Amino acid sequence: MLIRPAEARDREGAWTIFHEIVAAGETYPFAPDTSHDEAMRLLFDLPKATYVAETDGEVVGTYYLKDNYPGLGSHVCNAGYMVRASARRTGVGRAMCEHSLDAARQLGYLAMQYNLVVASNADAVDLWKRMGFDVVGTLPKAFRHTRLGLTDALVMYRWL
Where exactly are the structural domains of the chain?
2-114
User: Is the pLDDT higher at 88 or at 143?
Assistant: 143
Give the list of residues 6+ apart from residue 25 with CB closer than 8 angstroms, or none.
32, 144, 145, 146, 147
Which CATH architecture best describes the domain 2-114? 3-Layer(aba) Sandwich (3.40)
From 92, 74, 75, 95, select the one nearest 83 (Cα to Cα).
92
Q: For residues 59 and 152, what is the distance between their CA atoms, to the nearest angstrom?
A: 31
**Is the model's pLDDT at 156 over the cut of 90?**
yes
Q: What is the pLDDT of residues 87-142, one digit of tens each?
A: 888 899 999 999 999 999 999 999 999 999 999 999 999 999 999 999 999 999 99
Burial status of residue 8 (CB atoms within 10 A of its CB: 0-12, 13-18, 19 or more): exposed
- Give residue 89's pLDDT: 86
| Three-class secondary structure of residue 36 per DSSP | helix
- Give residue 17's pLDDT: 96
Mean per-residue pLDDT, 64-68: 97
Burial status of residue 131 (CB atoms within 10 A of its CB: 0-12, 13-18, 19 or more): middle
| Three-class secondary structure of residue 13 per DSSP | helix
Q: What is the pLDDT of residues 7-53, one digit of tens each?
A: 999 999 999 999 999 999 999 999 999 999 999 999 999 999 999 99
- Give residue 88's pLDDT: 87
From 108, 122, 116, select the one nearest 136 (Cα to Cα).
116
pTM of the model: 0.93
**pLDDT bucket at 65, cuts 50 / 70 / 90:** very high
Q: For residues 58 and 53, what is the distance between their CA atoms, to the nearest angstrom?
A: 8
Mean per-residue pLDDT, 43-70: 95
